[in-house]
Amino acid sequence: MFGDLKLATVCQEARCPNMGECWDGGTATIMLMGEICTRGCKFCHVKTGNPKGVLDPLEPEKVAYSISQMSLEYIVLTSVDRDDLPDQGSSHFARTIRTIKKLDSHVIVEVLTPDFRGDRELIQLLVDAKPDVFAHNVETVERLQKSVRDPRAGYQQSLDVLKTVKEIDPTRYTKTSLMLGLGETDEEILQTLKDLRGIGCDVVTFGQYLQPTPRHLKVQEFVTPEKFEYWKKTAEAMDFVYVASGPLVRSSYRAGEFFMKGIVEKQRRSTNG
Ligand code: SF4
């Protein structure tokens, strides 16, 4: 179905090993607004370029229609960064959420968004469309931001995106992901967790950084499963609502979605009385 409508799913693009398991379980990750990103993060395999304002105006309807036909339970909507568009793609992203929910009010929508350069109005457009989970990745600890991410991204800016979501609507769940194995220290990871809790971030995931091609950043360390377990326990003790941590954890991995589905449904029941 996705292939028929020429939609890009992150699962297919990244040849993710968990794809069969997730799709069978009613989860899929869809990448909006094309396959060319205006940013150039040094860990990411997505093509960098200038899409020159080109956007499929019918994409929100196509995505929503596909989802309504597939009886999916949990959708992760993500996108490349679109610094070339006047609103950085925020209204297109928001319209997609609304259209999905209009055609299928049960599906849980998690968005994994760009930073919108921290622009509150653009973030508000998305929050107002009521995604169930709002994810934005800090990716790594503060010291390594410049060597890992595009220069336009930044630690404080990403924290501010998550903080702004909670300020606008405290009932939205916020989520972020950290890649380990880039040369970060334990103290730096701990400080990141404290910073995330400080802005009310609900969910954190840890995964191993894997070098996509020899041109990308080298892996500094393969973190042991025991260490991932240590970070899971540490974050849980800090009262994150949910923590996923393991070498193969992707920010959109199904285990997390399964758990988040339980929480979101509970919240929906209590809101509906
Ligand atoms: S902004 Fe996202 S999609 Fe673009 S290069 Fe960075 S990680 Fe990849």
- Strands (DSSP E) found in the chain: 8-9, 27-32, 36-37, 47-48, 74-79, 108-112, 133-135, 173-180, 203-208, 242-245
Residue 202 domain-assigned (yes or no)? yes
User: CATH no. for residue 218?
Assistant: 3.20.20.70
pLDDT, tens digit, 9 for 90 and up, residues 17-60? 555 555 555 677 888 999 899 999 999 988 999 999 999 999 99
pLDDT, tens digit, 9 for 90 and up, residues 172-198? 999 999 999 999 999 999 999 999 999
CB of 144 within 6 A of ligand 1: the answer is no
| Total structural domains within the chain | 1
Residue 76 domain-assigned (yes or no)? yes
Residue 58 domain-assigned (yes or no)? yes
CB of 32 within 6 A of ligand 1: the answer is no
Q: Are 206 and 247 in contact (CB under 8 A)?
A: no
Closest protein CA for atom 2 of ligand 1: 80
**Neighbouring residues of 63: CB distance < 8 A, sequence distance ≥ 6:** 5, 7, 30, 32, 77, 96, 99, 100
Does the predicted TM-score (pTM) go above 0.75? Answer: yes
Residue 256 domain-assigned (yes or no)? yes
> Residue 195: which domain range?
8-271
Residue 1 domain-assigned (yes or no)? no
Q: Determine the Cα–Cα distance for residues 83 and 109; give it in Å rounded to an integer.
A: 24
Residue 2 domain-assigned (yes or no)? no
CB of 179 within 6 A of ligand 1: the answer is no
